[in-house]
Amino acid sequence: MTEKIVIIGGGAAGPKTAAKLRRENKNFEIDLYTQEDIISYSACGLPYYIENIIQSSETLIIRTPDDFKKQNINIHLKQRCLSINTAEQNVLIEDLISQKQYKVSYDILVLATGATPIIPNIKGINLKNIFPLRTIQDGINIKNKMLNSKKAVLLGGGYISIEVMEALVHNNIQVTLIEKNSQILNMFDSDFAQFITDYIIGKNPGQVSILTNEEIIEFVGNENNEVIKVITSSGKIIETDFVVLGTGVRPNTDFLQGSNIKLGVNNSIKVDKTMKTSKYNIYAAGDCCEKFNLATNKYTWVPMGSTANKEGRCAALNIAGNNCLFDGILNSTITRYFDLTISIIGISYKEAIELGYQPEFAIVTKKDKAGYMPNSGTLTLKLIADKNTHTIIGIQGIGDGDVNQRINTVIPAIISKTKLESFMDLDLPYAPPYSPAIDPVLNAAQIIYHKICS
Amino acid sequence: MTEKIVIIGGGAAGPKTAAKLRRENKNFEIDLYTQEDIISYSACGLPYYIENIIQSSETLIIRTPDDFKKQNINIHLKQRCLSINTAEQNVLIEDLISQKQYKVSYDILVLATGATPIIPNIKGINLKNIFPLRTIQDGINIKNKMLNSKKAVLLGGGYISIEVMEALVHNNIQVTLIEKNSQILNMFDSDFAQFITDYIIGKNPGQVSILTNEEIIEFVGNENNEVIKVITSSGKIIETDFVVLGTGVRPNTDFLQGSNIKLGVNNSIKVDKTMKTSKYNIYAAGDCCEKFNLATNKYTWVPMGSTANKEGRCAALNIAGNNCLFDGILNSTITRYFDLTISIIGISYKEAIELGYQPEFAIVTKKDKAGYMPNSGTLTLKLIADKNTHTIIGIQGIGDGDVNQRINTVIPAIISKTKLESFMDLDLPYAPPYSPAIDPVLNAAQIIYHKICS
């Protein structure tokens, strides 16, 4: 008998699962339903489309429904999943065009419904020109508006806002970022958040304002219901042509309310290491799922396109009868603001304190190449280790130099609990165009070791 | 009583040991003797001085004797160590200017005599304009000659020759490289050596020849005893204005013949993990020392400036009464040829076969960034794992993309024996300017795992 696989969601995890399933098994009947009118695109690339580094939004589309059709995978656009009936093994779908509802039965169901922007409950939020950034249409809306604008407000100081800020500043928009916490990029320690803030302000003096400990209490519109200013909690009135909401996302799991699918952190879907949910024939993958943090050994929820791809692959392998376990994540993130790379992996110093570690850290600022080589960049690393076990638990890195190379070195060390003693002597390859004789990340480990042991 | 520390050698390890010793202990009497007229310089930067990326050879000097004097470290230039008397605890030194000999007593001796170019025994080798490249003077000699030349021969196809070739090609010299093996860069698998060869030839068509399976049997000179051509084993006659010897180096340990200091691989000095030699109060560090290969678990000898720095630091810490262990190396190397990064870590496929592993490999060629980002580069990785244990044992990488970032990720995984199952799901940070959603190095691990397990 042909197994009927139904996949709900068309972002990263759903299409990945579908494609991998087909490679593993020619006989599965595979149907993918998505509420959007487009599938398989890189949402992470949207800020670069807005910036106009990427001219066409179509460049962000990885595979079209026709591509999937050639693989005998049926894509159903603008079809929203309303609910699941696990007893009858079917899903209730609404056709968003005809608004008719119908049931689709499955042998195996894959939930890959992603995440949805959190729209804050602020007076005037329904005015025109207040945009989230999640879908390609959101990106098109922001880009079109930007091209006829002079001023913008970004609400929230996370990665999306930093990336959109680069896009807007590059396009000569006057930008005000409003963040309710005392720092932007709240996952970073405050020292690094300050370095980043200083860089952003210094990069384009006068063009960017960053307001922390500040909230928007009202969006004010004109006679056409277009936002024209925002009023903040401290009483500031900021004129603007549009607003981008960088106020976070939440798992798109409302349709599971009342089902017997277990939910976890932030109402994300609980999965085991095979990506199976609490129901034996229902899998989940991507931003709708709970994650396990290998650095803290706690469940968490961090949406990330790279994780979605890995989880989709893992789900497909297990559905196809192979064995695959996805162990978890390290909350690894990276972005850039013009020439500045910004990255954090594992546990920050402040989080380590909260979690009850006895952390020690070292901050080093070094050239990324031999000092005498031209075109070298600078990087600042904050390496964090646990005093009791001597293991590395996290790193933060910023700079116009090659930060990645150092950040990536730490990742396997965290999961394998490599001690500082071994890490500081790692045989990283050395040549003057690539690093100083003692690599900055090793230097940081030497300093922590010295602090702990002397 | 003040301890008297005598250090022999002024390249990387000796000065590093001296400086670190002084930071650890203000009371040590520290004297460093070197046969050269300069200390503490980056020999690895010499090709970039020849190329004229670095204009002055003085840029390569890290610290001068005066810098050391300020730290109360006495530097003795042009003083060669002739022999050691371990019973009397002194060394016999020859003043290379006055040619007088004298003894210097020590409480603790550090041998950091580095390595010496191997000068092949070929007819005509003593002609003028045949240069090794080890010291700053060698670099000055080659650069001066290059500026009045049109053609050069490079003997040997190792890293030095690749780096010198970039320098010469950049300066419009016609270059012929002669290598006795069937490939250049013999540590690489033949497929990668061929990729690199093709890149070099294709980069400057007609300007570079690479002759493999070929040896020089005679250097022919003119009436001024200047080399003007070489004759090869296959009968080729190649006109040249000068020759650079990239024929390798050997540990500079001849002066230890007849002493009771134990030697190991290639007559390098045997040391334990504290950098102590077979004699309790004699340490050694840097290119004169034997190394332990953590990938193969065998002793080896690979000279490398980064290792010299780590070993010098370790020796100093132990002499100063701290505990420091240097575990070993992974034969990690990296270089570039113009835009092409070339790197190898751990064990190659051919070496794995020789060592009795059952290796499996994957080769991936991918963009280093999201496919839609402009200015992305390409990289080709060959990841090698052991079928029996599923552990990663080596990687080779080349490309104009960010190879380092991927290579470095593998290094802690090799020493901690991370299995493919964990490695392929590593939470490497993802953003479009830095990597595709599935990083190429993870993709390579997925492919090997699939080969092994299906």
Using CA coordinates, name the residue in chain A closest to B291: A427
Q: What is the pLDDT of residue A37?
A: 92
Task: Compute the mean pLDDT over every residue in chain A, rounded to the nearest whole number.
Answer: 96
Chain B residues inside the 8 Å CB shell of A54: 372-374
Using CA coordinates, name the residue in chain B closest to A335: B431
* Cβ burial, residue A386 (10 Å; 0-12/13-18/19+): buried
User: Out of 3.10.20.30, 3.20.20.70, 3.90.950.10, 3.50.50.60, which CATH number does the structure's domain B4-42+62-116+250-319 have?
Assistant: 3.50.50.60
- Rounded distance, CA A137 to CA A299, Å? 32
**Rounded to a whole number, what is the distance in Å from the CA of A228 to chain B's nearest CA?**
32
Q: What is the pLDDT of residue B418?
A: 95
- Cβ of B332 and A427 within 8 Å? yes
Q: Cβ atoms within 10 A of the Cβ of A341, count?
A: 23
- Rounded distance, CA B184 to CA B47, Å? 18
- Rounded distance, CA B30 to CA B52, Å? 36
Determine which of A59, A411, A423, A425 to mutate to test the interface with B (most B C-beta atoms within 10 Å). A425
Q: How far is CA B52 from CA B44, B125, B139, in A?
A: 14, 27, 11
Q: What is the pLDDT of residue A411?
A: 97
- Cβ of A328 and B427 within 8 Å? yes
Which residue's structure tokens are 């006659």?
B237
Average pLDDT estimate for A34-44: 91
Q: Which of B325, B404, B416 sits opposite A434 (nearest CB)?
A: B404
Using CA coordinates, name the residue in chain B closest to A396: B429
User: Out of 3.40.50.300, 3.40.50.2300, 3.40.50.1970, 3.30.390.30, which CATH number does the structure's domain B340-453 have?
Assistant: 3.30.390.30
Show me where the domains of chain B are located.
4-42+62-116+250-319, 130-247, 340-453
User: Out of 3.30.465.10, 2.40.50.140, 3.30.360.10, 3.50.50.60, which CATH number does the structure's domain B130-247 have?
Assistant: 3.50.50.60
Angle at Cα B348 formed by Cα B345 and Cα B351, nearest 5°?
A: 130
- Cβ of A372 and B59 within 8 Å? yes
Q: How far is CA A171 from CA A17, A144, A157, A165, B358, in A?
A: 37, 12, 20, 10, 56
Determine which of A273, A345, A408 to mutate to test the interface with B (most B C-beta atoms within 10 Å). A408
Which residue's structure tokens are 């380092």?
B404
- Rounded distance, CA B137 to CA B62, Å? 16
Chain A residues inside the 8 Å CB shell of B343: 429
- Rounded distance, CA B309 to CA B315, Å? 10
Chain B residues inside the 8 Å CB shell of A341: 434
**Rounded to a whole number, what is the distance in Å from the CA of A260 to chain B's nearest CA?**
29
Closest CA to B241 of B120, B121, B136, B127: B127
pLDDT tens-digit map of B317-326: 999 999 999 9
Q: What is the pLDDT of residue B326?
A: 97
The CATH T-level fold of domain A4-49+56-116+250-319 is FAD/NAD(P)-binding domain (3.50.50)
Residues 6+ apart with CB under 8 A from B91: B6, B8, B33, B81, B82, B83, B84, B85, B103, B104, B106, B109
Q: What is the pLDDT of residue B1?
A: 63
pLDDT score of A258 more than 90: no
- Cβ of B418 and A416 within 8 Å? yes
Contact of A20 with A275, CB cutoff 8 Å: no
Tell me A268's DSSP state: P
Q: What is the pLDDT of residue A1?
A: 63
- Cβ of A334 and B429 within 8 Å? yes
- Cβ of B313 and A439 within 8 Å? no
Chain A residues inside the 8 Å CB shell of B60: 372
Task: Give me B191's structure tokens.
Answer: 């497929």
Contact of A246 with A118, CB cutoff 8 Å: no
Closest CA to A160 of A305, A366, A57: A305
Torsion angle, alpha carbons of A377, A382, A385, A390, to 10: 40
Name the strands in the sheet holding A73-76, side by side, starting at the edge strand that comes first in the sequence: A73-76, A29-33, A4-8, A108-111, A282-284
Using CA coordinates, name the residue in chain B closest to A409: B409
Pair type for strands B29-33 and B73-76? parallel
> For the structural domain made of A339-453, what CATH number should be given?
3.50.50.60
A147 confidence band (pLDDT: 50, 70, 90): very high
Q: What is the percent of chain A where pLDDT is above 70?
A: 100
Q: What is the pLDDT of residue B258?
A: 83
Q: Which of A333, A415, A432 sits opposite B48 (nearest CB)?
A: A432
- Rounded distance, CA B195 to CA B198, Å? 5
- Cβ of B325 and A433 within 8 Å? no
- Cβ of A422 and B415 within 8 Å? yes
Q: Which of A59, A310, A417 sits opposite B425 (nearest CB)?
A: A310
Pair type for strands B227-232 and B237-239? antiparallel
Q: What is the pLDDT of residue A40?
A: 85
Q: Quote ipTM for the complex.
A: 0.95
Q: Which of A54, A306, A331 sits opposite B437 (nearest CB)?
A: A306
- Rounded distance, CA B111 to CA B286, Å? 9
Domain A4-49+56-116+250-319 matches domain A339-453 at the CATH topology level? yes
- Cβ of B309 and A438 within 8 Å? yes
Which residue's structure tokens are 């092994």?
B452
Using CA coordinates, name the residue in chain B closest to A308: B437
pLDDT beneath 70: ranges in chain B: 1
Which residue's structure tokens are 């000279």?
B303
pLDDT tens-digit map of B79-120: 999 999 999 999 999 999 999 999 999 999 999 999 999 999
